[in-house]
Amino acid sequence: MSETPKPQRGGAAAMLFLFCLALGGAGLAFDLALNTERGFWIGAQAGAQAVIGAGAAAFVVIAAYLARAVLARRQPPGGRDGV
């Protein structure tokens, strides 16, 4: 008999990290290329509190998923399935 395929684990966290890394690099490049006297700071812009709050909320959600993945109990192969 054939074995059932293992469920595929999502790589959404890695993709999100790469996306944020690329955007951070682009933002830093724009900041350095513009060469203004004061650098760009998100807190000085209109609506900054909302953006910082949304970023903090996203960080907490991602941290919760990572904590759940790290702290979850692993079932040994051939172990008991809820019995």
Residue 4 has pLDDT above 80, yes or no: no
pTM value? 0.43
Segment among 8-12, 26-30, 50-54 with least mean pLDDT: 8-12
**What confidence tens digit (pLDDT) does each residue in 31-72 have?**
777 766 666 666 677 787 888 888 889 888 888 888 888 888
Domain boundaries, the chain: 47-73
69-77 own/partner pairs: CB under 8 Å, 24+ apart = none
**Tokens for 52?**
């910082």
**Tokens for 71?**
């702290």
- CA-to-CA dists, residue 45 to 25, 33, 36, 50, 55, angstroms: 19, 19, 15, 11, 15
65, 69, 71, 76 alpha-carbon torsion, rounded to 10°? 160
Cα gap 57→53, rounded to integer Å = 6
